[in-house]
Amino acid sequence: MAPPDYEAKKGRKRSDYGYHQVHQTRWFDNDMYAHLNNTVYTALFDTIANAYLIQHCGMNPFSVNNPENSNGQPSTLPVGADQIGLIVSSHADFFASVAFPDTLEVGLRVAKLGSSSVTWEIGIFRQGEEDVKMVGTYTHVFVLRETMRAGKGGMEERVRRGLQKLVGGPAAKL
């Protein structure tokens, strides 16, 4: 039996997502059944969510509040965060197959924003097509980098402000 939100997800369009990236599939992304391997979907989830966190929420996973890069030069990335996001759950609903040499458009929105967590929704589209091929969700819980435990105040305010722009989808296209 399909989950209650299955039909709603199956009806998603690119316009339902406020942040997008284009990804070219690669030959080795295919599995033995000639479609995109499940691990590739997971990598696409991680790529778009972390790109958004870096570009729009001020998170720099490569630095602990260090404004310099490894060469001692000023970094072009945001200053590091005291928190990191740990994935605590993930799910995927598949509606149609994609494979190499497809070019994919990946859409991102915030399905739920908690005090210390975000549940992302990711839509996978074949470039130039409106019908969604796969919708995935996963949840990040933000914890203190040093202790790997939740902080008292929930997620950092700059992260929350960035995430609020994607709550519900298309309202704040970036």
**CA dist., res. 95 & res. 10, Å (int):** 7
First to last CA, the chain: 36
For 63-83, what is the mean pLDDT?
Answer: 58
Burial 25-56, CB ≥16 within 10 A → b, else e = beeebbeeeebbeeebbeebbeebbeebbbeb
Q: Cβ of 59: how many Cβ atoms within 10 Å?
A: 25
pLDDT for 171 equals 45
Residue-averaged pLDDT of the chain: 87
Could you give the residue ranges of the DSSP H alpha helices within the chain?
6-10, 38-57, 157-164
Among 36-40, 66-70, 95-99, name the one with the lowest average pLDDT: 66-70
